[in-house]
Structure 1
Amino acid sequence: MKWQQVQDNWSAFFDAISEKWPDVDENELEEIDGDQRAFIAYIAEVTEQDPREARDEIREWLSGEIPSDVVMDPSHNDRSMAFSSKFVPEGEDESDDDALFGDDDYDNEDND
């Protein structure tokens, strides 16, 4: 993942940050507000590391996948729905319940 993703979804990353660095304080994270330099300095302070070591540790953390709770954060819903609209047939709204439109591959006998 890239820092921009973290910064854009800062509060959604609090659980993932706390999981990686259990001694962080949520109020401090709120004050950092996605500022990468402030976050590096804070992690260095919390972990009693040199800022370069903290930066490297954060880079390693960033090399992982975006945590599922961040991906599932409600703030992503509108963007995901807007993106999905290009795959929705004409006459159907991307936020409508699919059950109203049927599915050619759906076997009704399985739900009886």
Structure 2
Amino acid sequence: MDWTTVEKNWAAYTPRVLTRWPGLDEDEVLATDGDLDRFAEYLAIATSQSVQGARDEARGWAEGEEPADAKMDPTRDNERIFDSAKNIPVGEDVYSADADFGDDRIPEPPMDRKAG
């Protein structure tokens, strides 16, 4: 993912930042507001490295998996809905009832019992 996604969801990424760089101060991390330049400057000072090295390290870290709370952010619902269209089989109308295409008519077995 690109840094823009990280910046938009900075509060959701902050716990991952603190896991990756445990020596950082949470308030200082939050104060950068996800701005890559500001975060890289803070990271460089905190880890005694060059700003460019810190920027490269932060970008490399950002290529990891997106945290669940960033994925579940309500402001991204439309994006997720449009992404889900990729999983609709050819020939299925996106507005059709799911019951027409699945096992919705098969009752679930009672709890603690296996289907026969």
The CA distance in 1 between the partners of 2:108 and 2:71, in whole Å, is 34
Distance 1:70 1:110, change over 3 A: same
Deviations 1:4-58 (A, max 9, x none): 0011111111111001111111211221112111100011111111112111211
Partner of 2:14: 14
The CA distance in 2 between the partners of 1:27 and 1:53, in whole Å, is 22
The CA distance in 2 between the partners of 1:51 and 1:68, in whole Å, is 29
Partner of 1:41: 41
Partner of 1:108: 107
SS of residue paired to 2:31: helix
Deviations 1:46-72 (A, max 9, x none): 111111211121121122222334323
1:80 aligns with 2:86: no
Partner of 1:98: none
In the superposition, the TM-score normalised over structure 1's length comes to 0.70
| Preserved contact between residue 14 and residue 29 of structure 2 (Cα < 8 Å) | yes
Partner of 2:3: 3
Structure 1's unaligned 5+ residue stretches are 91-100
SS of residue paired to 1:110: coil
In the superposition, the TM-score normalised over structure 2's length comes to 0.68
Aligned residues: 99
The CA distance in 1 between the partners of 2:31 and 2:98, in whole Å, is 48
- Percentage of pairs with the same residue: 34
Quote the RMSD (CA, aligned, Å). Answer: 2.8
SS of residue paired to 1:41: helix
